[in-house]
Structure 1
């Protein structure tokens, strides 16, 4: 059993990760600014902001893995890079592994590129895509002692298309995962399976990977 701290644990990605990790018997702590509408049994919920790490007390002590599922929306629109920078600095001097949930646009469109970002991003998604790209850059620039992994979801991933749990997923290295019909999608529950599988059986160290059907 691992102690897993999920930042943004009441959001879409974070909430699914919290539920999946708890279902496997892990010691799960969810950090968010708001209490969950429907708490997951067995999960410890901590209300607070990652922008004030000292205000969270000892919540990170003894954590095997911290997963950041922050979304650059609302009052966090321009705050995610600074929050991640502070989190990296805190964990670099520990043995805690760091997982970061990013976006699809930083993944490669095909082996050896270009990135989806380089093919053009609608203006309404550009900021969030840029934050994901910047977050990966922060991890790549971190000290060699920090063991991190970064997960790119597929092109369609969000609460507007929650889907169902099938127990299946594919990983694609740095290349966006697409089905045979060209679609690029995964349900929240199956995305969470991929993330918790990476926690249970680490396969990516200081590396990113893509997930989809």
Structure 2
């Protein structure tokens, strides 16, 4: 599979890149500082700034899928959608956020009292991206993958659970997923295409 990964140098993006390359996929890593990408078999690095969507579209052309691993506050969703549509790539997979997931009370996680104030603007921007995808016409095959509440670098255990719109809670009472296992789940989705035009979530 030919994958265009926007945000390839980030914490999550770099783990997705490694997972996909390990499985033999061909990747184009797009970043504002592509020189940070270490040379690896199957990888080519390209400069990209989503504020210039038509330039990005030229780099995306010819790929099977675009993956966005960019922080929501670092781009405008309209620019991302314009770049993907102009490129002719039919499929977009987005590294989502947990803030728009429901909790047991029926509230969104971002609206609960314990949600960190410092993370609210990013979570709200993520919800805006999800809403834009849900409004997109059916010519775009999109998937938005939300992590669990605690989403940090860790261990690749090789196991995870899937959910839909509700926050997953593990047997230990915590909502968490390592970035390594999230990358595993995302590349599994790239290969299987099991959630077209849907949001789903991943956790332990």
Matched, 1:70 2:70: yes
Q: TM-score, normalised by structure 2?
A: 0.90
Tell me whether 1:116 sits opposite 2:109 in the alignment.
Answer: yes
**Partners of 1:15 and 1:54 in 2: how far apart?**
24
Structure with the bigger percentage of helix:
2
Between 1:43-52 and 1:134-143, the stretch displaced more is 43-52
RMSD over aligned Cα, in angstroms? Answer: 1.9
Q: How does 1:138-177 map to 2 (within 5 A)?
A: 138-158=132-152, 162-177=153-168
Superposed CA deviations along residues 150-196 of structure 1, whole A, max 9, x for unmatched, are 010111113xxx11111111111111122112111111111101000
Change (3 A) 1:80 1:12: farther
User: CA–CA distance in 1 between the matches of 2:53 and 2:71?
Assistant: 17
Q: Tell me by how many angstroms 1:63 deviates.
A: 1.1
Matched residue, 1:90: 86
> Whole-Å Cα distance in 1 between the matches of residues 112 and 64 of structure 2?
37
Q: Of Structure 1 and Structure 2, which has the larger fraction of its residues in strand?
A: 2
Give the aligned partner of residue 51 of structure 1.
51
- Judging changes above 3 Å, is the alpha-carbon distance between structure 1 residues 54 and 85 closer, same or farther for their aligned structure 2 residues? closer
Please, which of 164, 187, 203 is the counterpart of residue 194 of structure 2?
203
Cα distance in structure 1, aligned partners of 2:159 and 2:31: 28
1:33-74 CA-partner distances (Å, limit 9, x unpaired): 11225444421111221221333463211211101111145x
Normalised by the length of structure 1, the TM-score is 0.87
Q: Secondary structure at the match of 1:9?
A: coil
- Between 1:128-137 and 1:32-41, the stretch displaced more is 32-41
Kept after mapping to 2: 8 A contact 1:100/1:150: yes
Contact 1:6/1:66 (8 A) holds in 2: yes
Q: Report the CA distance shift for 1:133/1:57 in structure 2 as closer, same or farther (over 3 A).
A: closer
Q: Are 2:203 and 1:212 equivalent residues in the alignment?
A: yes
Equivalent position of 2:101 in the other structure = 107
Q: Deviations over 1:131-168 (max 9, x none)?
A: 1100000100101111110010111113xxx1111111
What is the aligned partner in structure 1 of residue 24 from structure 2?
25
Distance 1:143 1:88, change over 3 A: farther
Gaps of 5+ in 1: none
Counterpart in 2 of 1:13? 12
